[in-house]
Amino acid sequence: MSETLENLLRENRRFEPPAELVAQANVTAEAYEQAAEDRLGFWATQARRLSWAREWDRVLDWDRPPFAKWFVGGQLNVAYNCVDRHVEAGLGDKVAIHWEGEPGDTRTITYRDLHHSVCQAANALTSLGVQAGDRVAIYMPMIPEAAIAMLACARIGAPHSVVFGGFSVDSLAGRIDDATAKVVITADGGYRRGNASALKPTVDEAAARCPSVEHVIVVRRTGQEVAWTEGRDVWWHDVVESASAEHTAQPFDSEHPLFILYTSGTTAKPKGILHSTGGYLTQVSYTHHAVFDLKRDTDVFWCTADIGWVTGHSYIVYGPLSNAATQVMYEGTPDTPHRGRFWEIVQKYGVTILYTAPTLIRTMMKWGDEIPAQHDLSSLRLLGSVGEPINPEAWIWYRHNIGRDSTPVVDTWWQTETGAIMISPLPGVTATKPGSAMRPLPGISGDVVDDTGTSVPNGGGGYLVLREPWPSMLRTIWGDDQRFLDTYWSRFGAGAGQGDQWIYFAGDGAKRDEDGDLWLLGRVDDVMLVSGHNISTTEVESALVSHPKVAESAVVGATDPTTGQAIVAFVILRGGVEEGDVLVKELRDHVAHTLGPIAKPRQIMLVPELPKTRSGKIMRRLLRDVAENRSLGDVTTLQDSAVMELIQSGMTTSKSED
């Protein structure tokens, strides 16, 4: 971990919460005391914010760690909690979603409208043979039907697997196949960067490889021509919009699977993270209420994530809707048709709470202060950051240019695996520091430990771990309990043969500063964090090696001022292959085609050899040193130390992407 801790800054700036917010805060400092005194009682109180058809007999079953069960014996329906109960409470005319399409088309969806559509979609899925427990894959643009499809699946107890609409055929097919999805819900396409971007052809190719797929439901969004498989393909407007809007939501067990969400692993096979019902909804609903201080009747919330990522699941669909929030949902990119589009949307809908990613904030910084200055952002009262650690300069820029030097900034740490926010300031309590996620939320036991699993003192750095189970935790990796144990529980604690406590290791490095506040330092393993997306080095290496001209490759994440990390690849060509810029472009495009554009390397370095230990293990640490122009670390264990000089001299002359 020492290399992670070398360049640590000292941050002395403090920002107290605004007095007005403190006076009316949803959650006060008392919550920390309540949770410390009775953690399970605290979570039971949060669970009672939801509507249960049957209350639980036991808050937590941790009899067979690390396999947790929360709110055991309890029964509820997620869609009922996100939709029906608000209509029953007289909020049917309240706007649930202000939707903005990239071309400028809009839709206003009230909770009554949402209820109508979710019931129709639930009936349509049932008519196509989907039953509780069957898996449904969703591969869609950011249109309201994506949220409706997720809620309809939850309503009938069919776990959904949402796949980001930018993923390739291989990625989609692998995920459909792993979950043996019975139905795929997609669209003809969506709008991105001013163009209609097709989705249906990718689904057609993927579904052809997946025998489990019985039906493909297609939303007409762009009006593009689509290929059609009779008997399998059905239009959304034919099966959903003609279905009955009468549907009674049945309660499901608290531990009934709600969704699978695939994330890159350190092997080429993605991990299907499994989340269940009661614990997940309890924590996403509570954290949305607490961290964003949501005032249901006056706030307009906007989380800019894609529905294909966990942030979209937890803080577009389930968290906000369970709290009867009014929110904005936007289909497109932030620079279409101009670089002020996000701020135009904030002004148009009077957004009060904005939750976005450091990558985007850094991009906006690059575009210039004058762009947000052209818009009225005075409605904003709270800013949030998610997806990766935010550097202090970007934090300050965000607060100054977007928050008018007055809004709190909540920098949140959590993962696909944790399901909900785990470490974050509370806006009515915490005096924040730019770049720090501050403290674990009430009811969460986060710690920073050294190699032996011992807590580090203030001022020390090490590994971020979680010492106690939490309601929204992943239950396992779909179909692979052993991988779940090996991946998350084998580094420290009982899973590593050290003591009786089961300790979850998140894969992130962290520092505890002199005040005891936490600073995230990014991934410590070989997963790269590019624009907030975890991308496995193994997957990119596999994609490169699948090209006929490539013999071997090694991939590292190098610090990048815009995307956080950028992908740098070192490639050994097969014998007799001509080097050159044309080939490098071909390889970069090949990776983008195989894995999706997000995985396209910033730079590819053609090398004669890779640095390997005598046992044949590639020393990525040295490649990271080269990629970041640092002086080389220890090369004594290398099979051939001269190889590094060759690589280093070549790196300075290789071109990176503009």
With bands split at pLDDT 50, 70 and 90, how would you rate the model's confidence at 533? confident
Arithmetic mean of pLDDT, 277-293: 98
CA–CA separation, 30 and 356 (whole Å): 28
Copy the structure tokens of residue 382.
Answer: 């709270």
| DSSP letter for each residue of 193-216 | TTEEEE-HHHHHHHHHT-TT--EE
Range in 88-92, 438-442, 638-642 with the lowest mean pLDDT: 638-642
Type of residue numbered 398 = Y
Mean pLDDT of the chain: 91
Arithmetic mean of pLDDT, 509-529: 83
Does 457 sit behind a cis peptide bond, omega within 30 degrees of 0 on the bond before it? Answer: no
Give the model's pLDDT for residue 653: 52
Answer whether residue 654 shows pLDDT above 70: no
- The residue that leads in pLDDT, 584 or 524, is 584
Give the model's pLDDT for residue 319: 98
Q: Which residue has the tokens 């992407």?
A: 657
Copy the structure tokens of residue 132.
Answer: 């509780």
Is residue 152 within 8 Å of 103, Cβ to Cβ? Answer: no
With bands split at pLDDT 50, 70 and 90, how would you rate the model's confidence at 637? very low
Arithmetic mean of pLDDT, 86-108: 98
Other Cβ atoms closer than 10 A to 208: 12
Give the model's pLDDT for residue 362: 77
Answer whether residue 545 shows pLDDT above 90: no
With bands split at pLDDT 50, 70 and 90, how would you rate the model's confidence at 137? very high
Arithmetic mean of pLDDT, 131-139: 98
- The 10s digit of each residue's pLDDT in 237-268 is 999 999 999 999 999 999 999 999 998 755 56
* Domains of the chain, CATH where assigned: 117-263 (3.40.50.980), 530-651 (3.30.300.30)
CA–CA separation, 14 and 409 (whole Å): 11
Give the model's pLDDT for residue 7: 30
Task: Quote the pTM value.
Answer: 0.84
Can you say how many angstroms the Cα of residue 589 is from the centroid of all Cα atoms in its chain? Answer: 25
Answer whether residue 457 shows pLDDT above 70: yes
- The 10s digit of each residue's pLDDT in 310-336 is 999 999 999 999 999 999 999 999 999
